[in-house]
Chain A
Amino acid sequence: MSGDESLIDELLAGKHRALARVITKIENRSPGYRDLVSQLHEHTGHAQVIGITGSPGAGKSTLVDKMAATYRERGETVGVIAIDPSSPFTGGAVLGDRIRMASNVGDMDVFFRSMSARGSLGGLSTATTDAVKALDAFGKDRIIVETVGAGQNEVDIVRTADTVAVLVPPGSGDDVQMLKAGILEIADVFVVNKADVDGADRTVKELREMIHMRDASPMAGHHGAGAVEGEASDGGKDDDERQPPIVETVAKTGEGVEEFLEVLADHVRWLEETGELQAQARQRYAAEIRTLLREDSAALIEEELDARGGLDAYIEAVTAKETDPYSVVDEIISPVAECVRKKRDD
């Protein structure tokens, strides 16, 4: 325990090794990692967190590399978390994004950390949120979370960011792709990377049409609760119904990166002015608490199940039609619920 406490002190004092070790403990869920994260909390809230997502090969890592280099030129420090998939069979992974951080090699003030999905459902977003906290507490000015936008899990992760940028490579499909649900809906900014490639113009045009259509729909706006508060300042209706801008970049050469960073800064300013930033933070904390509650209660139930000799006997009974899944669950949950309710009444 005292070892862990000095680890936090060292992290706050700016020791890279301590930061790296804290993230490892978070990833491994080592004993005591929760205390570590609890202690980090009060030191967080200073960094701008940017989520970068998009299909494989969209150029995310190269763009992140150039973003980090540009922030560094301005004298700011950067943390990067890059998430790659892990094998569902062995759990192994090759984390290959570091290779593309060529502009920042040897610069310790760009702290680049690879994380693998480790095949966990939901657990990944908890680990990522906690790792972002570690970087934030360490004092990084900008934190970039990069992940392949393939499914719900990844969508959750980028939601830990203040601003979500979705990379859309040119020629990434017809307009039906643009209608499909998923990562396009979470974008605060669209980036058409590889803008020098044929077809980039068309992709920009399709995105623009899609955004226009989304705006016309009654469900427009993904600002949630915050938008209601924001509406008090009427007359700024255009501000409230913010349309995600489309930025064109060529990450390989760095073209458009400055403008992209400007758009990101604009978004944060907009978030602050509308009160959305605070609303977002509250939503995130709510989601975090709910996630932890779910994980812990699932663990508690698992413990109860083990104490009753595991699942197998129940499966047998259900298969033999002696009981059914609902009754089994009821049998296990009822005593737990009873305990909780009794405790609450006391």
Chain B
Amino acid sequence: MSTEQEQRTIRCLVAKVGLDGHDRGAHVIARAFRDAGFEVIYSGLHKSPDEIVQAAVQEDVDVLGISILSGAHDTLVPKIVDGLKEYDAFEDTLVLVGGIVPEEDREELYELGVSEIFGPGASMQETIDFVRENAPDR
């Protein structure tokens, strides 16, 4: 029956955590995701890790894209990951980080469970393709 045919749409939360006040990049990626046919929830600026976790859980997103330019990724990302685990939401959420992440910090984020880090040179298409290929199969 067509009413039971699955209409799978990839849902993404584009999140700005912490104090950095620049969200041009987040807007650009939100729009690119929208144009790729994804449903995008944008968090707005200056969110705490708790708020991001709340949004990710309630919205049941496939993808959580955390945009950080402030350098606080090593304190904020672990808090988000822990929060997702608390709600059993970590296993099937693809966690991405975008922004400025120094080379020496990357390994730590990958070990935490971040799937990919997109720095300043990353292309939109690359990011979209990565999401399409790696969005969790539920």
B75 proximal to A (CB < 8 A): no
Which B27-56 residues have C-beta < 8 A from chain A? 30-31, 33-44, 47-48, 50-51, 54-55
B123 proximal to A (CB < 8 A): no
Complex Cα spacing A300 to B3, Å: 10
Q: List 23 A-B contacts (CB under 8 A).
A: A16-B57, A16-B58, A17-B57, A17-B60, A20-B58, A24-B11, A31-B6, A32-B4, A34-B4, A91-B9, A91-B37, A93-B34, A94-B30, A94-B31, A94-B34, A94-B41, A94-B42, A95-B42, A98-B44, A105-B54, A106-B54, A114-B39, A295-B2
Complex Cα spacing A95 to B37, Å: 13
- For the complex, count residues of A whose C-beta is within 8 A of B: 45
Which residues of B sit under 8 angstroms from A153, Cβ to Cβ? none
Which A78-99 residues have C-beta < 8 A from chain B? 86-87, 90-96, 98-99
A197 proximal to B (CB < 8 A): no
Known: A116-B39, A296-B1. A87 touches B9 (CB 8 A): no
Complex Cα spacing A280 to B19, Å: 49
Contact A94 B5 (CB under 8 A): no
Which residues of B sit under 8 angstroms from A33, Cβ to Cβ? 4
Nearest to B33 among chain A residues (CB) is: A92
Contact B60 A92 (CB under 8 A): no
Which residues of B sit under 8 angstroms from A107, Cβ to Cβ? 54
Which residues of A sit under 8 angstroms from B2, Cβ to Cβ? 295, 298-299, 302
Interface size class of B (residues with CB under 8 A): 35 or more
B54's partner among A96, A108, A114, A300 (CB-CB below 8 A) is A108
Min C-beta distance of B2 to chain A, whole Å? 4
Nearest to B86 among chain A residues (CB) is: A17
Nearest to A102 among chain B residues (CB) is: B44
B interface residues, Cβ below 8 angstroms from A = 1-9, 11, 30-31, 33-44, 47-48, 50-51, 54-55, 57-60, 87-89, 138
Known: A94-B30, A296-B3, A298-B2. A99 touches B44 (CB 8 A): yes
A111's partner among B34, B51, B58 (CB-CB below 8 A) is B58
Contact A95 B4 (CB under 8 A): no
Known: A94-B42, A113-B59, A299-B1. A29 touches B35 (CB 8 A): no
Which residues of B sit under 8 angstroms from A105, Cβ to Cβ? 47-48, 50-51, 54
Complex Cα spacing A77 to B42, Å: 24
Which residues of A sit under 8 angstroms from B36, Cβ to Cβ? 90, 92
Contact A20 B40 (CB under 8 A): no
Contact A96 B34 (CB under 8 A): no
Known: A20-B60, A90-B34, A92-B36. A118 touches B9 (CB 8 A): yes
Contact A292 B3 (CB under 8 A): yes
Nearest to B32 among chain A residues (CB) is: A92
Which A94-139 residues have C-beta < 8 A from chain B? 94-96, 98-99, 105-108, 111-114, 116, 118, 120, 123, 126
Which residues of B sit under 8 angstroms from A106, Cβ to Cβ? 48, 50-51, 54
Known: A24-B60, A298-B2. A118 touches B7 (CB 8 A): yes
A21 proximal to B (CB < 8 A): yes
Known: A20-B58, A106-B51, A112-B58. A86 touches B39 (CB 8 A): yes
Which residues of B sit under 8 angstroms from A299, Cβ to Cβ? 1-3
A30 proximal to B (CB < 8 A): yes
A165 proximal to B (CB < 8 A): no
A39 proximal to B (CB < 8 A): no
Complex Cα spacing A95 to B40, Å: 6
Min C-beta distance of A7 to chain B, whole Å? 12
Complex Cα spacing A186 to B64, Å: 38
Contact B40 A92 (CB under 8 A): yes
Contact A17 B88 (CB under 8 A): yes
Contact A94 B40 (CB under 8 A): yes
Contact B42 A28 (CB under 8 A): no
Which residues of A sit under 8 angstroms from B8, Cβ to Cβ? 28
Known: A20-B57, A92-B40. A28 touches B35 (CB 8 A): no
Contact A30 B58 (CB under 8 A): no
Q: Mark A278-293, 1 if CB is under 8 A from B, else 0.
A: 0000000000000010
Complex Cα spacing A176 to B34, Å: 36
Min C-beta distance of B1 to chain A, whole Å? 4
A23 proximal to B (CB < 8 A): yes
Contact A93 B58 (CB under 8 A): no
Nearest to A295 among chain B residues (CB) is: B3
Which residues of A sit under 8 angstroms from B3, Cβ to Cβ? 29, 34, 123, 126, 292, 295-296, 299
